[in-house]
Amino acid sequence: MATSKKDLSFSVVNTGTAAETAIVLDGTGLRGIVAIDHNGSNNVTLCGSVDGTNYFVIETFTADTIKEITLCPYFKVNGAADTTMNDTIGSSTCTIFTNEALTRTPSGR
- For residue 77, the cross-strand partners are 46
Confidence category of residue 65, pLDDT binned at 50, 70, 90: very high
What are the C-alpha distances in Å from 97 to residues 42, 54, 94, 106? 22, 23, 10, 12
What pLDDT is recorded for position 61?
94
Give the pTM: 0.74
Q: Determine the pLDDT at residue 41.
A: 81
Per residue in 9-53, pLDDT (tens digit) is 667 666 544 445 555 565 567 788 899 999 888 889 998 888 888
Residue 32 confidence (pLDDT): 85
**What per-residue confidence (pLDDT) applies to 57?**
94
